[in-house]
Amino acid sequence: MRQSQLLMPTLREAPSEAEAVSHQLLLRAGLVRQLAAGVYTYLPLGRRVLRKLEAIVREEMDKAGGQEVLMPALQPAELWRQSGRYEVYGPELVRLRDRHDREFALGPTHEEVITALMRGETSSYRQLPATLYQIQTKFRDEQRPRYGLLRGREFLMKDAYSFDADWEGLHRSYVAMYDAYHRIFARCGLTFRAVEADAGSIGGEGGTHEFMALADIGEDTIASCTCCDYAANLEKAEYGIATNHKADVVEPTKTKRLHTPGSKTIVQLTESLGLEATAFIKTLIFIADGKPVAILVRGDHEVNDIKVKQALGVVSLSLADQETTERVTGAPTGFAGPVGLTIPVYADIAAAQISSAIVGANEEDYHLVDVQPGVHFTYEASGDYRNAAMGDRCPRCEEGRLQFNRGIEIGHVFKLGTKYSEAMEATFLDAAGKAQPLIMGCYGIGVSRLLSAVIEQHADEQGIVWPASIAPYRVHIVPVSAKDETQMALAFQLAERLEAAGIEWLLDDRDERPGVKFKDADLIGIPLRITVGRQAASGIVEVKRRSEAAAKELSIEEALTMASMLAVEH
């Protein structure tokens, strides 16, 4: 492609509304333009990258046994009523009426449509399993669209749905998608984690993983191991508990009262006393199924509600209000401690292991020092009641430690079970001739969001650094001077050779200063740049990978070899 004929409006400055790096670069490199909040047009370069992402997704879906379909965006509200989601979904669901006043939704997802389809087309277990997928435009009326393609209102998704006759079948379908997702994201050049996500209220007897691309702009926190591939959302992260660790055997001592006026938080205490947070035990009063309990965690740790609920076997759990805390502890919030409490006390393992701790004194402006768990107070039980923390051991492998990252959700696999098939009466006849609800899984990838995620991970000060697998072009040919006939002739000769080898090229034939050309080249980030300059007459060009600083002087043949190697790499 000749650059002079390409609609590629690069910008020197990022528009002020773009916060995320990827959003800035999408605009600056001329990949997209905003039409309305969260609604974008993909310009030629952006469309090319999107098509490469689509191709990778399609290829891996097909390999994993998926069958491609295409479902409509217009969905009758009636179907959403059958599943029970029409009222529940809230204002994110775009609703409209047709000319005959019939209600429709613009699909943010297609569980209802596919379940209604399979309800009509599946009669026997012999037609199962089946996994159907589509790459299709979705609509979600976000309250605050932002970060460019990361949170848009109209976006491209791959959504897949599996149908099985039993739970073992669902598991096989799930694993096939899970594995395909790994291949897809790896081929896109992404650093990502498959995270054990909290099923929340959707889950059946299932599992669910979120695929998170690591990036600071991400809205979720992920714990992952430095050695193995363990990863989980913060809320669900486990960690290796050092069970062999025992509190040092020390002589029982007496506790001391310490005057700590106004110091209600660990931060205030560590500052005023000059001690590490690990020296403290935090005492938090919760209401568990209506009754007050005290949860103890080490000063540097955070209580994890989900773990506490599970450990205590309660349904509801919430922090006690100030009044309850004062009634239970006899002191205002900030000075609660385990010593002398009459309500049940539960100590997180790390808190129980402190041999000599500082705790609240249950008295305003006072703390107790030299408190020995099990000696100066007792507890109902000790267990894992806290969030994983930086430096914790990996729960899966021997050597690893947990690290924390922010992540962008790029994919999600989910065992739906019979949630939709039961609500919508989508059944099949099993081998015994009995009607059974279809057992379903659903699997999403934010295809347009991938574009942003890749840029978040593959950019530098100058611009985008595309992985070759999804770059809009593989080779950028830049003649230094459009007026130099020798340079232009060699540049076009190179283009012809690349074309013949099936390698996509962009040739900057614009009559611009070299500085402008190089700046644009770095901005749009094509993997290999071949600069045709003064040595064109002797057939020497300068070859530079976008990802490397150094350039090499090579002959035409060497340059072509390098270009074709790059094409093979991915």
Which two structure tokens, joined as six digits, stand for 50?
């999107």
**Interface with its own copies by CB under 8 A: which range of 99-107, 218-226, 232-240, 379-387?**
99-107
Q: How far apart are the first and last CA of the chain?
A: 21
34: left (phi over 0), alpha (psi -120 to 50) or beta: beta
* CA 164 to the chain's CA centroid: 27
- The amino acid sitting at 312 is L
Taking CB under 8 A as the rule, does residue 81 contact its own copies?
no
Taking CB under 8 A as the rule, does residue 374 contact its own copies?
no
CB of 24 or CB of 208, closer to its own copies: 24
Query: Pick from 74, 88, 250, 381: which binds its own copies (CB under 8 A)?
Result: 74
Shortest distance, CB of residue 110 to its own copies, whole angstroms?
A: 9
CB of 214 or CB of 442, closer to its own copies: 442
- Which of helix, strand or coil describes residue 177? helix
Query: Pick from 17, 33, 276, 327: which binds its own copies (CB under 8 A)?
Result: 33
Taking CB under 8 A as the rule, does residue 27 contact its own copies?
no
Taking CB under 8 A as the rule, does residue 48 contact its own copies?
yes
Phi, psi at 553, each rounded to 5°: -90, 125
d(CA 260, CA 363): 10
CB of 48 or CB of 419, closer to its own copies: 48
Shortest distance, CB of residue 171 to its own copies, whole angstroms?
A: 18
Instruction: Check if the beta carbon of residue 229 is closer than 8 Å to that of residue 206.
Output: no
CB of 136 or CB of 547, closer to its own copies: 136
Which residues ranging from 505 to 544 are in contact with its own copies (CB under 8 A)?
Answer: none
Taking CB under 8 A as the rule, does residue 67 contact its own copies?
yes
What residues have CB less than 8 Å from 88, skipping those under 6 apart? none
d(CA 10, CA 27): 8
Shortest distance, CB of residue 112 to its own copies, whole angstroms?
A: 10
Pairing of strands 67-68, 130-139: parallel
CB of 73 or CB of 389, closer to its own copies: 73
**Interface with its own copies by CB under 8 A: which range of 114-122, 213-221, 404-412, 513-521?**
114-122
- The amino acid sitting at 43 is L
Taking CB under 8 A as the rule, does residue 431 contact its own copies?
no
Count of chain residues binding its own copies (CB under 8 A): 54
Query: Pick from 15, 17, 19, 51: which binds its own copies (CB under 8 A)?
Result: 51
Which residues ranging from 143 to 202 are in contact with its own copies (CB under 8 A)?
Answer: 143, 153-154
d(CA 162, CA 64): 12
Residue 226 CB neighbour total at 10 angstroms: 13
Distances (CA, A) of 18 to 26, 45, 47, 144, 150: 10, 19, 20, 14, 12
Phi, psi at 80, each rounded to 5°: -70, -25
Residues near its own copies, by CB under 8 A: 5-7, 9, 33, 35-36, 39-44, 46-48, 50-51, 65, 67-76, 91-92, 94-96, 98-99, 102, 104, 106, 113, 116-117, 120-121, 127, 130, 132, 134, 137, 139, 141, 143, 153-154
